[in-house]
Amino acid sequence: MKRFVALYILLVLFAFQDSAAQKRRHERAYDAYNAGEYFDAIDEFKNTYSRTKKSDRESRAEYIYMIAECYRRINDPRNAETWYKLAVRSAFSRPEAQFWLASTLKKNGKYQQAIEEFRTYKQVAPADARADQEIRACELALEWQRNPEPYIVEELKDLNSRYADFSPAYGRDDFGVVYFTSSRDGATGNKTHGATGQGFTDIFVSRLDKKSKWSIPVPLDGVNSEFEDGTPFVTSDYREMYFTRCEAGKREKRGCVIMYSKRTGDSWSKPEKLDILPDSLVTAHPALSPDGQTLYFVSDIPGGFGGKDIWKVSRTGEGQSWSDPVNLGPDINTEGDELFPYVRDETTLYFSSDGHIGMGGLDIFRASAQPDGSWSVQNMKSPINSPADDFGIVFEDGDEKGMFSSTRKGRGNDELYSFEFPPLKFNVTGLVKDEKTGAPIRGSTIQLIASDGSNLQAETGEGGDFRFALKEDVDYIFLASKEGFLNGKEKETTKGQEKSRDFMVTILLTATDRPVELPNIFYDFGKWDLRPESMVSLDKLVETLDDNPNITIELMSHTDSRDTEEYNLELSQKRAQSVVEYLIGKDIDPERLLAKGYGKSSPKVVDEEISEQSPFLKTGTILSEQFIESLPNDEQKEIAHQINRRTEFRVLRTDYEPVQKDPADK
């Protein structure tokens, strides 16, 4: 009996010790998490999870969720996805796990899956408006990937390492020096960061050599400390640097501050702290306006809209004290995080956010200041943005090129990329064809007339084709001419075009050896006054006459065979004359115009186009009165009569010399 009692006491002691150890593991995990040391917390939570009894399903579900949270916070979406999937399958799953699973799928570029998971989240949390915004974001991301902006984005392999490299800033006016943040080997601090598992960051510098190759980055002398230093901002004269310094201690949070240094020659002064906020608060990611009077920064001080917000302080001049912080407001800031501001000019601010509609994690946005004090915010879309984190952009002055940071390669590390909006390229490929037959016209002369004053000439090839390179922001006219044809033209413009483009134009030329019908010339029954809908066709005739100043034409009006010959001749003559009078009213010289009414004397000969529209009429048929009366029904007869009622013109001369008018006569 004593033996059994002793054994029982021993088992109780073991259970007590195991329970105490489990409690210590649990506390260490949460201590690390609460201190922001998510990388360290992962192992602590995994260890706690593995030693938790399977029967304690609620605790195991909690640890799974916390492991997923840690992976999300260290920006490892692949592992986060795995653990969130385990979390949502648990009987003790929480709604947040469903939301973050969907968000992680989005960040991994699995947009369709993310949409389905966000829809599931709507069912468990119908009051959360974020789901609809995220579904819309996924739909837009798919569209932006299908139709990317024309930026060229390339990885800067000379600058990147297997550690974090991010937030570039140019250090010289020829953009041949770059400063950036890195946790690579060689940094001043030799500690490992509990939040990332990497070393503390420093500011590094690299220079372009004569072969346009970046040198091996080295720590920037005189600026770095044993703590985290990074996100440099260099003023427009390249003589001042603002950057972030964050002190980190084991299992405790400390504030981040903005530091300031001046350059003399190639040396930087010992950094000094900018007194904007109390030391216990986060002040990070500085960006100074071009005039040096406004400093933008990131903080989570009270009065914001959610996580980290972008704020600003101002001063009246160099050396003057900074004002109280002002939040940039709800146009810029959201319930999420707004980070890494960059001021390009007095009215344009770039920043990164995971709260605005974006493609995944942090996206880069462009904000334009409006006259009423508001901001117009636009996502920079693909390929600047990706499903991963994209942030820390910098430009080469007025050019649409520069650098930014991204985790898009999927290794979880921040890396540097270059971007450039390539010069717009425009070309036009054209064809010259016979208007009636559609046959290509070789050997026609093409004259390019541009609004910038340029004038080029080419000749069409065997296939009636021609090609020109076009300039940006210019209007063009392409005028085609060929003996035996009326001149023809087409217009194009590169104004307002935001992407390179190849234009296609077809110029139809009309032969001068056959009458040309003017479509849609209408009169009321028995009258010769032009109806308003006739003006469009006649205005095109005016344009044709202006483009062919050496021709004279006969306006030919035809009626159907109904009524007397005398009546039809008189009516058609008046109708032809009404067209001539309209053209004279448009400043066409009367000597170039002859009105002739033909009544019913010239019935239409059916061509291929008419036959296609009215198959009961065969090509080559003359629509005489006798033929029309032979048609089987009134509908077909009316169609034939309508075809005969027409207005045409034909070229009489091609050698007319325009009379030069005295300007005083105008």
CATH of the domain at 181: 2.120.10.30
Q: Quick check: 6 pLDDT over 60? A: no
Q: In Å, what is the CA distance from 609 to each residue of 254, 317, 651?
A: 83, 78, 22
Q: Quick check: 26 pLDDT over 80? A: no
CA distance 325 to 313: 5
The answer on 475 and 409 residing in a single domain is no
CA distance 537 to 559: 19
Query: What is the pLDDT at residue 11?
Result: 41
Q: Of 509, 535, 570, which marks where a domain is finished? A: 509
Find out whether 184 and 217 touch, Cβ atoms under 8 Å: yes
The answer on 326 and 433 residing in a single domain is no
Phi, psi values for residue 301, rounded to 5°: -65, 155
pLDDT in tens, 559-596: 888 888 899 899 899 999 999 999 999 999 999 999 99
Instruction: Write out the two tokens for 553.
Output: 């034409």
Cβ contacts of 639 within 8 Å, gap of 6 or more: 614, 617
Q: Establish if 145 belongs to a structural domain.
A: no
Tallying the residues shown for the chain, one arrives at 666
Q: CATH code at 473? A: 2.60.40.1120
What is the 3-state secondary structure of 106-121? HHCCCHHHHHHHHHHH
Query: Between 207 and 664, where is the model more confident?
Result: 207
**What's the pTM value of the predicted model, to 2 decimals?**
0.72
The answer on 346 and 447 residing in a single domain is no
Q: Establish if 194 belongs to a structural domain.
A: yes
Q: What is the mean pLDDT of residues 422-439?
A: 93
Side-chain-facing half-sphere of 498: CA atoms under 13 Å: 6
Helix (H) or strand (E) holding 547: helix 535-547
The answer on 193 and 268 residing in a single domain is yes
Query: What is the pLDDT at residue 121?
Result: 94
Residue 203 is part of which domain span?
152-420
Number of domains observed in the structure of the chain: 3
pLDDT in tens, 122-138: 999 998 989 999 999 99
Q: Establish if 269 belongs to a structural domain.
A: yes
CA distance 354 to 340: 12
The answer on 412 and 362 residing in a single domain is yes
Q: Establish if 414 belongs to a structural domain.
A: yes
Query: What is the pLDDT at residue 23?
Result: 63
Q: Establish if 641 belongs to a structural domain.
A: yes
CA distance 426 to 487: 25
The answer on 247 and 388 residing in a single domain is yes
Q: Of 509, 525, 559, which marks where a domain is finished? A: 509
The answer on 527 and 486 residing in a single domain is no
Q: In Å, what is the CA distance from 393 to each residue of 170, 238, 285, 317, 590?
A: 11, 17, 12, 27, 66
pLDDT in tens, 54-68: 888 888 888 889 988
Q: Bridge-partner residues for 342, per DSSP?
A: 350
Q: Establish if 91 belongs to a structural domain.
A: no
The answer on 167 and 307 residing in a single domain is yes
CA distance 602 to 627: 14
The answer on 288 and 411 residing in a single domain is yes
The answer on 657 and 534 residing in a single domain is yes
Q: Quick check: 2 pLDDT over 70? A: no
Q: Quick check: 442 pLDDT over 80? A: yes
Q: Of 420, 455, 487, which marks where a domain is finished? A: 420
Q: Establish if 441 belongs to a structural domain.
A: yes
Burial of 555 (0-12, 13-18, 19+ CB in 10 A): buried
Cβ contacts of 260 within 8 Å, gap of 6 or more: 240, 241, 242, 271, 272, 273, 274
pLDDT in tens, 32-88: 888 888 888 888 888 887 888 888 888 888 888 998 899 998 889 999 999 999 999
Q: What is the mean pLDDT of residues 451-466?
A: 95
**Mean of per-residue pLDDT scores for the chain:** 89
Q: Establish if 49 belongs to a structural domain.
A: no
The answer on 333 and 192 residing in a single domain is yes
The answer on 482 and 337 residing in a single domain is no
What whole-number percentage of the chain has pLDDT above 90? Answer: 62
Instruction: Write out the two tokens for 187.
Output: 């940094």
Q: Quick check: 429 pLDDT over 50? A: yes
